[in-house]
Amino acid sequence: MIAAVTLYDVVLFVHVAAVVVAFGTIFTYPLLFAMAAATPAHRAGLHAFQARYGRTYASYGLLVVVLAGAYLASARDLWAEPWVGGPLLIAVVIGGLSGGFLAPRERRLAELSEADGADGAAGYARTLRQVKLAGGLASVLVLVAIFLMVTKPGA
């Protein structure tokens, strides 16, 4: 027997795939930071990658997550559900955090990783702590959104 695949099913797949593409890489950052600690050149490359990834995959992926999620919520009239509104709010927070806070600091890390002297090292360490903290917060928010979408509290 062949199962029918609906437009809703396809958009749900696109929604989930966009979450993986947009946010999957941030969960590898602690490992990448540890590996890149070897040399300034490695750090510069990692942070340049972060900045490019955030500008492209994460930004456009988040847009697809929101648009596909809007279709899914509209198709089943689910806008009043807390497990829809909560993740939407989380997406807005992550978008603001990524664009307004992380992106400029990731670009700055690429510059600072090659800077010489104590001032450059101190600036790098301070900015790296900020990025790690904000990235950790974004990771937790992604997991909270996934939890809400899977468990559907209040449904």
For 69-108, the DSSP string reads: HHHHHHHTT-TT-HHHHHHHHHHHHHHHIIIIIIHHHHHH
Separation of alpha carbons 52 and 54, rounded Å: 5
Q: Break the chain into its structural domains and give their ranges.
A: 14-71+88-151
Count CA atoms within 13 Å of residue 152 on its CB side: 7
Separation of alpha carbons 40 and 43, rounded Å: 5
pTM confidence score: 0.90
Separation of alpha carbons 74 and 71, rounded Å: 5
**pLDDT tens-digit profile, the chain (155 residues):** 678 999 999 999 999 999 999 999 999 888 888 877 767 778 888 899 999 999 999 999 999 999 999 999 999 999 999 999 999 999 999 999 999 999 999 999 988 887 777 777 889 889 999 999 999 999 999 999 999 999 999 87
Count CA atoms within 13 Å of residue 110 on its CB side: 13
Q: Is-contact 46 78, C-beta < 8 A?
A: no
